[in-house]
Amino acid sequence: MKSRKKLHKSERIQNILITSLFLIGATAASTLLLNLGGDSGNVGIVYMLAIVFISRYATGYIPGIIASLIGVICINYVFTYPYMHLDFTLEGYPVTFAAMLLISGITSTTTTHLKEQNRIINEREKLLMEAEKETMRANLLRAVSHDLRTPLTGIIGASSALLENENTISETEKSQLISNIREDANWLLNMVENLLSVTRIRDTGAQVTKVPEPLEEVAAEAVQRFHKRIPDAVVHVTVPDEFIMVPMDATLVEQVIINLLENAVYHSNSTAPIQLTITVDSGFAWFHVIDQGDGIPQERLDSLFDGYTTSPNSSGDSHKGMGIGLSICKTIISAHGGIIAASNEVKGAKFTFTLPLGEDIYEQSNHSYH
């Protein structure tokens, strides 16, 4: 942390430029006022205003104090009769000098204190962000070890069984083992895509490149990609009748939708259709993924997006843990400026996330409702 007692060379140069520009501007404005027939008493106000701005934008106390000294001299020498002549015996001059010096001192002290407070707040925010990133990184590492170990073990076990018992097991058993290997491999591929998505966000400083995308197309593409992984799942999609464009990284948002749909399949213990509903309200696009399964245990709701689950899911498919996927969903939605949450319905669970529409798009969507 750099010392605030000694200014760097660049800060000194900046102070000189700021002080010079505002004083020159005050002198030019005062000259213009007098030429237009203004009262010379307004000159002091112009210089006081310049001192306020110098104290605001310069670093430290010195520029404001120096500016007040120069301002008082300029008022005395340039704008007070006899012109172009210093006269420190003028009536009211000591009061003007003291007032300008006091104003510059108070303003400099206040602005310097505010700048220091802002610097401290910014540093604290950076520390909190770093701490949050470290927490997320630790959660992801735990989630990786928890969610990826079992499918790898399953692949190794199934492939070993095929190799060791190739001549003794039936074709039906071989087909089942191969199907298990493919399912576990697809799940691992999905997890790798999730990890690449969150890495992409972190590499860009938790920012995403957002371009307006049509809601209906994003939902359709996500469902289509989801059906390539789970062809038998049934998804009912409801989107607004209006053509709505939302600023987003479409690939990342589609990944969130796919993750939530897969969770609904693997963790609901239900084969009933999944509902994907998208609405627009209060400047946000609202995405709801609703299943008709067992719901989420109440004790897990608060920590569902932390990135790590300490117990396997109720279905017994421990290789399909929700932790890492939901953690990455939260990272993606937060980077878009939205929120994500989970709740229980009368029957089943509901996952909801939001995306800001943007002011222009929000105004357009409002017009479409009237």
Q: What are 108-134's pLDDT values in tens digits?
A: 678 777 877 888 998 898 888 888 777
For residues 72 and 253, the model is more confident at 253
Residue by residue, DSSP assigns 291-328 as: --SS---GGGGGGTTSS--SS--TTS-GGG-SHHHHHH
d(C-alpha 94, C-alpha 89), whole Å: 9
Provide mean pLDDT across the span 243-271.
Answer: 89
Tell me, what DSSP letter sits at residue 345?
-
Q: Which of these, 278, 276, 247, lies nearest to 259 by C-alpha position? A: 276
Q: Report whether pLDDT(348) > 80.
A: yes
Sorted by sequence, the CB contacts under 8 Å of residue 257 that are 6+ apart come out as: 218, 219, 222, 223, 226, 276, 287, 289
pLDDT grade, residue 204 (50/70/90)?
low
Sorted by sequence, the CB contacts under 8 Å of residue 266 that are 6+ apart come out as: 313, 315, 317, 320
Q: What is the pLDDT of residues 180-191, one digit of tens each?
A: 898 788 777 777
Task: Supply the pLDDT for residue 145.
Answer: 67
Provide mean pLDDT across the span 210-219.
Answer: 92
d(C-alpha 256, C-alpha 326), whole Å: 8
Domains of the chain: 9-126 (no CATH), 127-369 (3.30.565.10)
Side-chain-facing half-sphere of 195: CA atoms under 13 Å: 16
**Mean pLDDT across the chain:** 79
Q: For 18-25, which contacts have Cβ atoms below 8 Å and span 24 or more sequence positions?
A: 18/54, 18/57, 18/58, 18/63, 19/54, 19/58, 19/63, 19/66, 19/67, 22/50, 22/51, 22/53, 22/54, 22/67, 23/47, 23/50, 23/54, 23/67, 23/70, 23/71, 23/74, 25/50
Provide mean pLDDT across the span 280-305.
Answer: 89
Provide mean pLDDT across the span 75-91.
Answer: 74
Provide mean pLDDT across the span 50-63.
Answer: 81
Q: Record the pTM.
A: 0.53
Task: Supply the pLDDT for residue 308.
Answer: 52
Provide mean pLDDT across the span 208-217.
Answer: 88
d(C-alpha 6, C-alpha 236), whole Å: 66
pLDDT grade, residue 325 (50/70/90)?
confident
Task: Supply the pLDDT for residue 237.
Answer: 94
pLDDT grade, residue 61 (50/70/90)?
confident
